[in-house]
Structures are given as structure tokens and as C-alpha cells.
Amino acid sequence: MTARVRNTAAAIALAAAVTGTVLLSGSGAALAAAPAAAVAKGSSHGTLTISNGTKYVLINGRWVNFGAVVRDLAWSPNGTKAAFIDGAGNLDIANPDGSHRVVVAKNPGNQNWSHPTWQVTKADPRDGIPAKNNLIFAARAKGVSKLEYVAATAVNGTPRTLPLGREAGEGVPALPQTGNVWPNAAGSYGTSVYANANTGDVYIRDDYIRQQGSALTKGSQPALSPNEEEIVFVRSVAGHDHILVEDFTNGRGHVTDLTPHATTDYTEPAWSADGTTLAVRTPAGTVTMPANGSGHPTKVTSVVGLAAYRP
């Protein structure tokens, strides 16, 4: 077992034990005529983007027409492709300018797909782990949510249920196979985190850990840091949604509230490419904040939507 595997395993086991202004009207003409938003691009942060359920995506302060409804946009690790759910509920990928759109998986109907995330890894023959280029997403059908995956290179592909591992009878409770939502993958090892709407827990999944997962903390909407050593997530505190971070590297489950004085709801956090900054949704727009808690939230645009950083 590699040192990285041992460290991650220990962190998981311990955690488990602890158990400017732009206004959107929805009109294409109005969006096309909207002024540029005050969204800055940093050479190490990556480019901040916001998708809001229209066919326009805010990319570095400019509206880009993708030619189809874009929900829950996520960028590939190299920044060359965007994955999203289109207006028909299908899983698509496209170039950063919206061109060359491909339906990776066609929604069979009567399902709600959401929050795709890229899982890209190199092969590791020593540990018997193949290369991956997958899209993981949440699928809800007949009131039941589960995680599914499909090859990112597929065309009209058929998704499969994502294995989560660990059945009952091993001295610990079985991992919940349903109710799982909001997957988020990061790093080069295929690690991902997700939330469970039924238990209220955040879980981690790692192909290097044979049990493949553990409950980390109470919360929702998790995002894994680029170096896989921290997660940010949402938790209700004193009547508002706060952004909290858990650090895996300090030897025990250490959680810090990054918005301790919140007077509004902070939700849907996204990491910058260099792991130093978070972009977060509020009812009044999008804010950024230092991931280490050293500063206050700063509003960068009044656009309300799902933030993501293009590497």
C-alpha cells in the first residue's frame, strides 16, 4: 500500500469515527445585451464561470451562448471541455465556447439528472487501477436518487450505477446506496465526495481504499479540494447556510466555519484550480473567499447560479 493510500485510509477511518451588475431575465435578447460582470481571472485561480439554467454561461465576465440550456456546468481537469445537463435532461459535453456539443448520455425520460463531475485518472498497474475518463452524476427516478457514471467519450451512452462498496456484515453499517446526490471529484486518484439526502452525511469515495467510502461529517453540497486533502460543504447554523471546511491532514476530523458571522445563505461552494479560493452562491449573487478562512466573502457579481472554475 502506498503512503498516499495509508494516509487517506487513516484520515477516512478517523473522520468516520468522529462521524458590475448583471441581472438575468431569462430572455435571450436581454442576456445577450447584458453588460460584462465584474469577474476577474487569475493566472493560478483559473477562470470563474457561472451557469444558471439558461443557454448563456458567464465566463470570465462575458456571456457565452452554448446554444442549449446549461445546468450544473463542470469543467474537465484540463479545462478543454464542459459537461452539463441540457434542457432535455441529457448529459452533454461541449467546447468552452459551446461548440461541438455531444450528448454523452440520453436521459431515458422521467429522470432528473444533476451535478455531473469529471473523474479522470491515469492507470496505476501497481495497484490494479485502470485509467478513467468518466462523468459521475446524480440520477433521480421515482423519488429515488443514486449516483451513476458513464464514459466521457461516449455518444448516447448508457450510464451505470456507480459502485460504492461496503456491504453490511463487516462490523460497520452498509453504505447507503440510494439518496446519494451532489458528487464532486478532484485530484489525480479518482477520489470523489458526495452527500446523502437521507442521512444528512457527506461521504468520500476512493478507489484506492478497498471499502471505498466512509461518512465524513454532517452536511451537504460537498466539494473536494484539488489536492484531495480538504472538503468544503454546507451546513445549517443558527438559521443560515454556512460554508465549512474539513482538513484531513491534521490527524483528526477538524472542521472550521468559514462564514461564522453569516447573515445570508452561502451555498454551492467551488474550489479554484490552485486550491486557495472558493466561489460561493448567495441569494444576491456570487462571492469569493479565501479557502483558509483568512478573509471575508467578497461579492464579484450579482449573477446567481452554480459557480465553477475552469482550469
Q: What is the pLDDT along the chain (311 residues), one digit of tens a residue?
A: 444 443 444 344 333 333 333 333 333 333 433 434 444 444 467 899 999 999 999 999 999 999 999 999 999 999 999 999 999 999 999 999 999 999 999 999 999 999 999 999 999 888 888 899 999 999 999 999 999 999 999 999 999 999 987 655 556 678 899 999 999 999 988 899 999 999 999 999 987 765 567 789 999 999 999 999 999 999 999 999 999 999 988 755 689 999 999 999 999 999 999 999 999 999 999 999 999 999 999 999 999 999 999 99
pLDDT the model gives residue 252:
54
CATH class of 3-310: mainly beta
Rounded to whole angstroms, the Cα distance separating 80 from 96 reads: 7
Torsion angles phi and psi, residue 6, rounded to 5: -60, -45
Read off the pTM: 0.86
pLDDT the model gives residue 15:
37
Angle among Cα 107, 151, 140 to the nearest 5 degrees reads 35
Q: Where are the domains of the chain?
A: 3-310
pLDDT the model gives residue 208:
74
The position carrying cell 459502485 is 163
Cell of 280: 460561493
SS3 239: coil
The position carrying cell 454532517 is 218
Rounded to whole angstroms, the Cα distance separating 262 from 282 reads: 11
The torsion angle over the Cα atoms of residues 96, 102, 107 and 109, rounded to 10 degrees, is: 110
- Alpha helices (runs of H) in the chain, residue ranges in sequence order: 3-17, 28-32
CB atoms within 10 A of CB 35: 11
